[in-house]
């Protein structure tokens, strides 16, 4: 675990650069959400999660479920930075035979994956099942599930949310990437999801909000969420899609677009100069 905000910032800088490099080489993939979630993933893997990169299947590890599988680049880059596999392997993103496919697939043998993800709306149900199993087996590990705000338009999310509250799964924390945009535009235009805090609360969850780009806020909020007793918790992390590259920040067109080599060079220089 890192001990300072400055170390977390430096780690996030490296992860952002590796995300851009891998996407530029692949020529396809999801840039915006991956950059936007980098700070949250950095805080999780280097300040929150109880895990061991040298023993990916450690029975007492915390579980992280990536429900929004299309932001696989941020998961891959964070796992590599954590030491689960060589950073150089990130340049095989989306290549034939690679362990790093466009959406995470456990069948490819990449260490650190808990779920094969693709269809949106499924991850919370899996997380509920894991958390319930942990409760039944009296385990101390915690389950985290990561969701996009557009994904909350899926009805299955709310069925799982209802189930988690019913079973009092206080060993479960959901994370909402609240950047306000999805592949077709603003969430408020595509399908309004507000009042989000009141919805989660009405479903029986303890609700927290944080600045998804403030490490101090992220870490303290997750610690408070994990301390919740008797009900599941959700952290609504307010983020900016494409964070770190000003020309694409908040632009939904970068939801599923990879940078060209020229753009990647420019984006990386900006991150190096301003991080």
Within 8 A by CB and 6+ apart from 114, the residues are 63, 64, 65, 66, 106, 130
Query: Residues 215-253: pLDDT tens digits?
Result: 999 999 999 999 999 999 999 999 999 999 999 999 999
Query: Which domains are delineated in the chain?
Result: 5-274 (3.40.50.970)
Pairing of strands 185-186, 181-182: antiparallel
Query: Residues 108-150: pLDDT tens digits?
Result: 999 999 999 888 999 999 999 999 999 999 999 999 999 999 9
With tokens 């590599």, the residue in question is: 80
Which residues on neighbouring strands pair with residue 185, listed in sequence order? 182
Query: Residues 142-194: pLDDT tens digits?
Result: 999 999 999 999 999 999 999 999 999 999 999 999 999 999 999 999 999 99
**What is the per-residue pLDDT for 3?**
66
Question: Strand, coil or helix: what is 208?
Answer: strand
User: Nearest CA to 49 among 31, 65, 61?
Assistant: 61
Within 8 A by CB and 6+ apart from 39, the residues are 8, 12, 212, 213, 214, 215, 218, 239, 243
CB atoms within 10 A of CB 111: 14
């Amino acid at each position: 675990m890192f001990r300072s905000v400055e170390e977390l910032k430096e780690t996030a800088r490296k992860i952002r650069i590796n995300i851009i490099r891998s996407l530029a080489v692949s020529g396809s993939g999801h840039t915006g959400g991956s950059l936007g979630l980098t700070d949250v993933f950095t805080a999780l893997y280097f300040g929150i999660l109880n895990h061991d990169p040298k023993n990916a299947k450690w029975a007492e590890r915390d579980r992280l479920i990536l429900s929004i599988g299309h932001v696989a680049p941020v998961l891959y880059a964070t796992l590599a930075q954590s030491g689960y596999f060589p950073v150089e392997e990130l340049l095989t993103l989306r290549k034939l035979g690679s362990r790093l496919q466009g959406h995470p697939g456990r069948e490819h043998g990449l260490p650190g994956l808990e779920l094969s993800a693709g269809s949106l709306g499924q991850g919370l149900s899996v997380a509920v099942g894991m958390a319930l199993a942990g409760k039944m087996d009296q385990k101390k590990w915690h389950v985290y599930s990561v969701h996009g705000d557009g994904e909350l338009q899926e009805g299955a999310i709310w069925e799982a949310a209802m189930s988690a509250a019913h079973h009092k799964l206080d060993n479960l924390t959901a994370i909402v990437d609240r950047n306000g945009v999805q592949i077709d535009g603003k969430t408020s235009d595509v399908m309004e999801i507000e009042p989000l805090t009141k919805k989660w609360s009405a479903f029986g969850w303890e609700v927290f909000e944080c600045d998804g780009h403030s490490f101090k806020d992220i870490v303290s909020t997750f610690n408070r969420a994990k301390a919740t007793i008797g009900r599941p918790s959700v952290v609504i992390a307010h983020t900016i899609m494409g964070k770190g590259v000003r020309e694409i920040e908040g632009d939904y067109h970068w939801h599923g677009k990879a940078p060209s080599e020229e753009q990647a060079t420019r984006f990386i220089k900006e991150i190096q100069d301003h991080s």
